[in-house]
Amino acid sequence: MTNAESLLSDSTVSSLDLLPNYSHLITTRPHDIRRVVISDLHLSAEEPALVQAFLTLLDDLLQLPNIIELYILGDWFDAWVGDDVYLSLSAKQKRVHWMTPIIDKLYQLKQHGCQTLVMHGNRDFLLGQPFCDTFAGKLINEPYLITLGNKRYRFEHGDALCTDDISYQRFRRVTRNRAVQWLFLKQPLSKRINFAQKVRRHSSEDKVHKPMAIMDVNQQAVIKALQHVDNLLHGHTHRPDIHLVEDADHSINQNKKTKLLSKFSRKNVRSDNTHFRYVLGDWRVLHRDSSRQQVEAVIAVTTVEPTEQSELQQQTRTQQNTQKNKSTQKNKSAQSSELLNERLQLLKFVV
C-alpha cells in the first residue's frame, strides 16, 4: 500500500495522525532514500530551534549513502532582502553568523554527492544564485517538473495557487517583477530591512481579517497545474496533507476519498483522471515554554526499490568496473529513473 493510499483509506482519521513519525531519517531504510523535499522552514536568528532542527536534518542526510538531491521549495528563510545580507559581511563576521554552519553543512552535502536545489517562496523571493554559490547549490524556477519512477511531478512553492486571495496575488505580481526587484536591491540594506519589517507587520494584520478559505489553494488552479503531470507537491499553506484530485471538472472533497478509492484496485489506486496533491508542512516549534523545544515538520522523501532489470544492469556494471573510487555523484546517477521504482511519500520529522 502506498503512503498516499494508506492516508486516504480512512476519511475519519486525520491524515497527519497516520504519517510515519521519525526523529532521524537514518532510521528509515537509509539505503533507499534518494531525494528529500522540504519547505517553509522560516529560518531566522530569532528562531534558533528551527536552525538547529535544520542542521540536524542535514546531519542525517550526510549519513544517507544514496541521497542525490535536497529540494527546498520556498520560504527557507523568514525574510530575505538581498544576498548582501550575508555576502557583504567580513570574514570575521561570517565566522560567528548563524547562517555559516548551514552553509558549511550544505557544502559538505554537495561533497557527499547531494545537490541542494532552492526555489523562491513568498518570503525569500529575492534570494539569488550568488548566495546559493556559497554552498554549490542551484536556484531553480517554479514550477519544477521531475519524473519519479513512472510518475510526473510538479514542484512549486504554492502561493501562486492561492488565486482567491486577490490582494496577495496583486502584491505577488508587483514583487516578482524584475524591474521592481532591481530598484529595491539598489536601496541601502538598512532601508530594505526596515521596509521588509513594515510589510511583515502589515501582512500579519491583514491575515487576521482574511477568511481562512481564501488563503488556501483554489481548486481550479490546482486542476490547471495538474494538466500535464500526474501529481503536485507544494508548501506555503501550512496545511500538510495528501489530497486526491479529479482533473475533469471538480476536486474530490474529504468525505468522498474512501468512496473513490474503492473504485480502484490496490495495485492501481489512480485512474487517468485522478491525481495526488501532496502538501508539505511548515517547520514549527512545539512546546515553546518547555526547556527543550521540539521542532515538527512534514517533509517528503523519495525511496527507491530497484527493478529486476536495473539490478541485473547494476551487477553487470559492478563486474566491469574495477575502479571503486569513482565520483560518488556519477555512481549514484548511473541508474536511470525509468529503471527505478522511485516513489514519493510524506513523513513527519520531529527533532
Confidence of residue 211 (pLDDT cuts 50, 70, 90): confident
Specify the length of the chain in residues. 351
The Cα–Cα gap between 37 and 108 comes to 18
In a domain, 198, yes or no: no
The Cα–Cα gap between 136 and 134 comes to 6
Q: pLDDT tens, 294-313? A: 999 999 999 987 654 455 45
Q: pLDDT tens, 314-329? A: 554 555 554 544 444 4
In a domain, 203, yes or no: no
The pLDDT of residue 264: 35
Residue 109 pLDDT exceeds 90: yes
Is the alpha carbon torsion for 117, 169, 222, 234 positive or negative?
positive
In a domain, 193, yes or no: no
What mean pLDDT is reported for the chain?
82
In a domain, 294, yes or no: yes
For 67-106, letters b (16+ CB in 10 Å) and e give bbbbbbbbbbbbbbbbbebbeeeeeeeeeeeebeebbebb
Residue 50 and residue 96 in contact, taking contact as beta carbons nearer than 8 Å: no
What is the model's pTM?
0.82
Distances (CA, A) of 138 to 116, 178, 322: 6, 19, 33
The pLDDT of residue 260: 42
Q: Bridge partners of 276?
A: 231, 244
Rounded mean pLDDT of 113-118? 98
In a domain, 100, yes or no: yes
Confidence of residue 201 (pLDDT cuts 50, 70, 90): confident
Q: pLDDT tens, 40-87? A: 999 999 999 999 999 999 999 999 999 999 999 999 999 999 999 999
The pLDDT of residue 2: 46
The pLDDT of residue 233: 98
The pLDDT of residue 257: 46
CATH number of the domain at 139, please: 3.60.21.10
Q: pLDDT tens, 214-240? A: 889 999 999 999 999 999 999 999 999
Three-state SS for the chain is CCHHHHHHCCCCCCHHHHCCEECCHHHCCHHHEEEEEECCCCECCCCHHHHHHHHHHHHHHCCCCCCCEEEEECCCECCCCCCHHHHCCCHHHHHCCCCHHHHHHHHHHHHCCCEEEEECCCCCCCCCHHHHHHHCCEEECCCEEEEECCEEEEEECCHHHCCCCHHHHHHHHHHCCHHHHHHHHCCCHHHHHHHHHHHHHHHHHHHHHCCHHHHCCCHHHHHHHCCCCCEEEECCCCCCEEEEEECCCCCCCHHHHHHHHCCCCCCCCCCCCEEEEEECCCCEEECCCCCCCEEEEEEEEEEEEECHHHHHHHHHHHHHCCCCCCCHHHHHCCCCHHHEEEEEEEEEEEC
Residue 232 and residue 222 in contact, taking contact as beta carbons nearer than 8 Å: yes
In a domain, 228, yes or no: yes
Domain count, the chain: 1
For residue 291, the enclosing domain spans 24-164+211-251+272-306+339-350
The pLDDT of residue 212: 78
Distances (CA, A) of 150 to 223, 241, 271, 299, 300: 20, 22, 14, 21, 18
Rounded mean pLDDT of 193-204? 85
Residue 175 pLDDT exceeds 50: yes
In a domain, 244, yes or no: yes
% of the chain with per-residue pLDDT over 90:
62
Estimate the crossing angle of helix 178-185 against helix 189-209, to 10 degrees: 130
The pLDDT of residue 247: 56
In a domain, 54, yes or no: yes
